[in-house]
Amino acid sequence: MKAIGIYYRVSTGRQDFESQKHDVDRWLENLEETKKPKKILIFKDEGISGKTTNRPEFKKMLDTAYAGKIDTIVVYRLDRFSRHATTAIRLILNLDDYGVAFVSVTQPVLNLGHENPFRRTMLAAFAEIAEIERETIVARVVAGLEAAKKRGVALGAPKKLSNEREKEARVLREEGFSIREISKKMGLSVGSICTLLKSDQKKEEEE
């Protein structure tokens, strides 16, 4: 390790970084002299949930890593990096493509430093987990669509109104019926009627 980025995160103002910093400092102290980093960058996000990746310092750290300015990311624990395992795995795999290692100081099994002999095996396992998760999501979506079809739910973009139906809607509107009343009379959604009338209004304005 030549340059590392240490990332700390707390979700609320009642928490502090000290417990995380204590364990990270101890990890650094226990490193062999030849493995100690020459440069350390600190990134801290306070009062932000780990469920989102939209964290200022987190994004800054990733940009720094992708730019090749650090070769290892160090965290106190995986959930400080991300609360979603699949998101964490995806990011770790992406970081590896950029030659950036990952270390969780309190979870040795997740320490994917360049010196870890099982690093490639762990990354392969992570990739497999991510693929299984993707397949599971796809299967759920397909099953949901099939169930919707069986319930008679119309899928896809709504069908365009026929000329006769369009004329009927316009006539009702001209007679003073509200959009909701037209929707009920014609058995169409309020959105369809609104789209039709907006189209007519636009034509009138252009004329």
Catalytic positions are: 11
Q: 3-class SS at 117?
A: coil
In this structure, are residues 35 and 102 in contact, taking their beta carbons and an 8 Å threshold? no
d(CA 82, CA 52): 8
In this structure, are residues 3 and 39 in contact, taking their beta carbons and an 8 Å threshold? yes
In this structure, are residues 65 and 98 in contact, taking their beta carbons and an 8 Å threshold? yes
d(CA 133, CA 122): 17
Give me the amino acid identity at 98.
Y
Phi-psi map region of 152: left, alpha, beta (phi>0 left; psi -120 to 50 alpha): left
Write down the residue that tokens 């980025």 correspond to: 5
d(CA 170, CA 165): 9
d(CA 190, CA 8): 49
Cβ-proximal residues to 182 (8 Å cutoff; 6+ apart), any chain: 169, 172, 173, 188, 193
